[in-house]
Every structure is written in C-alpha cells, then in structure tokens.
C-alpha cells in the first residue's frame, strides 16, 4: 500500500519526484509569478485576479493552488522579486557615490525615491499587501526585506561610532522608515504628502537634517 508513497521528508526535499513533474511545476510557478508581476505593474495590487493570472499563464484556475499555496503567497513571490531588484538598485546607488558616509546615505535615499517612482505599483504592493489576520509571514520572505536597510548600516556606523549591534540596527531601521514615510505619503498623493515634484528635495533635506543631528548626538 505504501510502496510508492513518499514520506514527508522526501516530499520536502523532492529527491524522489520525477524530473518532468518537478520541472513543469517550477516552470508553471515561474510563469505565474511573471504574469502576476506584469499585472500588478499594470493595474496595481487590487488589479491582480486569480482568473486573469491563470488565463494569461495558460493554465486552469485551480492549477494556481498547486503551484503556489495562495493568491497571497503569489503576491509574496512578486514582492520578493521587487525587493531583489530594489536591493540591486540601492547597492548600485551606494557604489556609485563618493566614499563619505553622508554622500552614501544621500545617494541611497535618492535611489529609493527613484526606484519607487519608476516602479510605483510594484513598490506600492510591498507595503499595501497584508496577510489575513493571524497568518504569519513565511521566513523566506521576511529575509528578503533586509535589503531595505542593509546598505544603510555601514555608512551609519561610520557616522555614529558610539552605536553598534542592536542599537545601530535600530537606528538604521528608523532612518529607513523616516525616508520611506515621506516617499509613501507623497506618492500616494495624500493630502499631507509632499507634492511629487518636491519629493527628491524634501527627502534630501530630511536626510541631511538627520545626519547633522546624528553627528552631534
């Protein structure tokens, strides 16, 4: 009866699964994610529909639920892709700047603004999306968020030799969150947001103010 039944470990590792099945499943998942990226980029997170994604990916509606767990999980995959691209953009911005920590942090903030403007809907989806209450974000996706603060830490450490470890990490998070807040309210077109044409200047002014303040701490 259990002759051909894989146990849980084998399922997870997938070592006994046929190559054809495995490959097709992976390819379908890839296609679904690519289509979802396109849909969110074109019509926003709320414009992502299970029926449209599967139709465009060339599979039945139900196939989505074997390729990925959920429509929510599909969004997480899309967000992971976006975070990877954002991470690359921030890394490039940092590398391209002068070595002084002030210049690096200003370049990072400018890079963040540029990426958000150039990838509005995909960037918005990163923070619009909410899992249903009680559902915890899977670990593989949590880790992908690290790119948002990774590049901040080194230049911030140079400016704040008194900070290290947890305290430094915390200040990096706060710095990112402050810049992010200005960008988000502006690009959402909120009443209290800064007009988009002034966004870059205001973010630069904010970063400079934070840096001068930090310097004297």
**Which residues of this chain interact with DNA, rule CB under 7 A?**
1-6, 11, 16-22, 24-25, 28, 48-51, 59-67, 70-72
# binding residues, its own copies (CB under 8 A): 48
> Does an H or E element contain 74, and which?
helix 71-96
Residue 216 touches its own copies, criterion: CB under 8 A: yes
Q: Using the rule CB under 8 A, which residue among 11, 24, 49, 212 binds its own copies?
A: 212
Name, in order, each residue with C-beta under 8 angstroms of 113's C-beta and a sequence gap of 6 or more: 183, 199, 200, 203
Q: Is 133 in the site for its own copies (CB under 8 A)?
A: yes
191 binds its own copies (CB under 8 A): yes
Please give the distance of CA 24 from its chain centroid, rounded to a whole number. 27
Q: Which does 51 bind (CB under 5 to 8 A by kind): DNA, its own copies, none?
A: DNA
- Nearer to its own copies (CB atom), residue 24 or residue 190: 190
| Residue tagged 């918005």 (tokens) | 124
Contacted by 17, from DNA, its own copies, none: CB < 5 to 8 Å by type = DNA
* Binding of residue 184 to its own copies (CB under 8 A): yes
Closest-CA residue to 94 (of 110, 106, 108): 108
Cβ-based neighbours of 23, under 8 Å, separated by 6 or more: none
Which lies closer to DNA via its Cβ, residue 6 or residue 157? 6
Residue 1 makes contact with its own copies by CB under 8 A: no
Helix, strand, coil fractions of the chain, as percent rounded to 5: 75, 0, 25
Contact partner at residue 71 from DNA, its own copies, none, CB < 5 to 8 Å by partner kind: DNA
Query: Considering only 30-38, 58-66, 68-76, 192-200, which stretch makes contact with its own copies by CB under 8 A?
Result: 192-200
Reported as type and span, the H/E element at residue 114 is helix 101-118
Find the radius of gyration of the CA atoms of the chain.
Answer: 21
Indicate the residue among 99 and 192 with the shorter CB distance to its own copies.
Answer: 192
**C-alpha span between 139 and 118 (Å, rounded):** 28
**Nearest residue to 150 via CA among 201, 69, 95, 204:** 95
Between 11 and 212, name the residue whose CB sits nearer to DNA. 11
Please tell me whether residue 168 binds its own copies under the rule CB under 8 A: no
């Amino acid at each position: 009866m259990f002759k051909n039944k894989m146990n849980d470990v084998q399922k997870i590792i997938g070592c006994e699964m046929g190559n054809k099945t495995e490959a097709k499943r992976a390819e379908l998942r890839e296609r679904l994610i690519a289509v979802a990226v396109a849909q969110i980029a074109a019509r926003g997170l709320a414009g992502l529909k299970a029926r449209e994604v599967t139709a465009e990916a060339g599979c039945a509606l139900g196939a989505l639920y074997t390729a990925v767990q959920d429509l929510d999980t599909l969004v997480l995959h899309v967000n992971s892709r976006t975070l990877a691209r954002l991470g690359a953009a921030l890394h490039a911005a940092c590398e391209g700047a002068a070595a002084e920590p002030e210049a690096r942090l200003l370049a990072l903030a400018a890079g963040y603004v540029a990426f958000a403007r150039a990838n509005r809907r995909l960037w918005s989806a990163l923070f619009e999306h909410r899992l249903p209450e009680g559902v915890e974000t899977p670990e593989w996706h949590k880790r992908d968020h690290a790119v948002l603060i990774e590049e901040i830490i080194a230049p911030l450490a140079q400016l704040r030799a008194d900070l290290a470890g947890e305290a430094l990490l915390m200040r990096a998070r706060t710095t990112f969150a402050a810049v992010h807040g200005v960008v988000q309210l502006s690009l959402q077109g909120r009443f209290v947001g800064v007009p988009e044409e002034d966004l870059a200047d205001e973010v630069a002014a904010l970063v400079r103010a934070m840096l001068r303040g930090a310097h004297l701490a």
